[in-house]
Structure 1
């Protein structure tokens, strides 16, 4: 997945906002909370960082092309970074980005969820 494809995918999720910060990282938020970060690594390849469930965190940290997210994981947060992956991982990345969006949106206050029209069926 390219950085442009990443941005296009995240933009299509409901009620997302986008900022460029932290050294030109593409930061995507829902309700003011970060759910995905896209950047270009030192090797010139895109890297995508997202929040994940505890189970997926332990699965992905052992999978080639994935690692605990720099800075975030070292502080005990369950964030993973996908880097140096083939395009055959794009569908998996879309799944994990969607799951991250859902995890973060579920962490918003009930008031914020209602204002954004999110998670009302859960």
Structure 2
């Protein structure tokens, strides 16, 4: 997947926003909460995953526990270009859903989210 395709897929998700944080990272958020991030040149890609996906991805070596965020079940892929577009789109949708589910009901409604 290319960095441009990642950005397009992430921003196509309902309620998603993009911001630049820490000077050099593109961060995708829903309701002000992060669900995915990449460096500006798009090499590394990190996102929130379920408990089961965290175990599978890290134990098989497909991804590493994300620095500073592994305790929140975030993983990091070292090479975005090596990932399949459809798989990344699915991972992004699940990451956004996991984060959106934790938002207050009123905030989800204001963003037009049902889940």
TM-score by length of 2: 0.88
Structure number, greater radius of gyration = 1
Q: Which of 72, 89, 92 is the aligned partner of 1:77?
A: 72
Unpaired segments ≥5 residues, structure 2: none
SS of the aligned residue for 1:8 comes to helix
Alignment of 1:9-88 (within 5 A): 9-39=9-39, 46-73=43-70, 76-84=71-79, 87=82
CA contact (8 A) 1:38 1:47 kept: yes
Farther-moved stretch of structure 1 (96-105 vs 81-90)? 81-90
TM-score by length of 1: 0.84
Unpaired segments ≥5 residues, structure 1: none
CA contact (8 A) 2:15 2:31 kept: yes
What are the Cα deviations for residues 5-47 of structure 1, in whole angstroms up to 9, with x where unaligned?
111111111121111112311101111110110115xxx7611
Q: Residues of 2 paired with 1:77 and 1:105: CA distance? A: 15
Between Structure 1 and Structure 2, how many residues are aligned?
115
Q: Which of 74, 93, 99 is the aligned partner of 2:94?
A: 99
